[in-house]
A = this chain, B = another copy of it.
């Protein structure tokens, strides 16, 4: 049986997983809402962010109480402090999903996304959701290899983001400025969402190995990277 202290640590970990699942679901639903111009779905995503904020507040309260009561050191201390940071990443991811939903609401009954960009935005939304699902799995399993995978997935997000910009900058763009502004912001929201998912995974790597994910990745690829 685990002692009260480690049970409390587990509860904090569970809270992080719950947050990751909620924001992963939120970005998926927000993407559907903006592509289908579904106002009801957008409203539900916007409302659901409160639950994420509540979870974060709860988790922070527990973490600080744990620091005060148990005064952990070494690894345990690092786990608690890192949990606080992960919860901040996840809370911010929830905000970004909410931004997507708010844009869907703002443009309703139109859709903010022109048809020739539906596929790209759908792909960004799905990738964002997958990244967050993997981040949740990394929190549960502490699987360093899986965590390092997220960086590769994030490269795919960067490519999608770049494709989006190329499409915008194309002389044949015919959707006007308002849509260009909407698509620019959308691209940024998905990119930042993905960054936060990667950041969560990297923090787990740091907890498990004591090394930053970048250091481990560079050990693997030192012979293949391009010169500075």
B178 touching A169, Cβ below 8 Å: yes
Given contacts A173-B177, A184-B185, contact A64 B88 (CB under 8 A): no
B188 touching A177, Cβ below 8 Å: no
Q: How many whole Å from A76's CB to the nearest CB in chain B?
A: 10
> Which residue of B is nearest A88, CB measured?
B88
Q: How many whole Å from A144's CB to the nearest CB in chain B?
A: 21
A186-215 contacts to B, CB under 8 A, are 188
Q: Apart from A68-B73, A85-B88, A169-B178, what are 20 other A-B pairs with CB-CB below 8 Å? A: A64-B77, A64-B78, A67-B67, A67-B77, A67-B81, A68-B74, A71-B71, A81-B84, A84-B84, A84-B85, A88-B88, A169-B177, A169-B181, A173-B177, A180-B180, A180-B184, A181-B184, A184-B184, A184-B185, A185-B188
